[in-house]
Amino acid sequence: MIGVLRWGHRIPRDSRISTHVVLTARAFGADIVYVDTEDKVLEDTVNSVVERFGGPFEIRTGVSWKKVVREWKGVKVHLTMYGEHIDDALPKIPKDDVLVIVGAEKVPRDFYEMADFNVAVGNQPHSEVAALAVFLDRLLDGKGLKRSYEGAQVEIVPNPRGKTVRENVPGRE
């Protein structure tokens, strides 16, 4: 189980970036994303993608971030440019039952203390979307991008020259 906690989501300022965080989490292998601010539009957007492109994947908004972090049974990884470099941290992090914490703004000190690992994808300012993608891809050895999704109505078929979209996929399984 791979979870992602998105902290500090501000409506409408962060709506586009938070959508990208959630879709990136899904595409790179996460099973669930928690967002601290309730946002039904974000939920509807993501659930529409899951309905069309398959699952399983879950989004929960309006959650207590402290409760999510406290109740997570596995390892908690906080992505921050101030943390231990990803190359040094990854060998110590198990590949399952991981909660990845990404912030939208300056995070409270609690995150640094509650996390089992504070990990830096790089020590320069960059997007939390990029950090999440790099971290999940490396944590899962690229397997997150190759997983199949149950119940997909639409499937993108790799094509070196153009777009190939397969629709009504369930009968193909």
Q: End-to-end alpha-carbon separation of the chain, Å?
A: 24
pLDDT tens per residue, range 31-90: 999 999 999 999 999 999 999 999 999 999 999 999 999 999 999 999 999 999 999 999
Domain count, the chain: 1
pTM (two decimals): 0.90
Categorize the per-residue pLDDT at 173 as very low, low, confident or very high, splitting at 50, 70 and 90.
very low
Residue scoring higher pLDDT (69 or 106): 69
Report how far residue 44's alpha carbon sits from residue 156's, in angstroms, rounded to the nearest whole number. 21
* Domain at 9, CATH number: 3.40.1280.10
Report how far residue 43's alpha carbon sits from residue 36's, in angstroms, rounded to the nearest whole number. 12
For 166, the domain range is 2-172
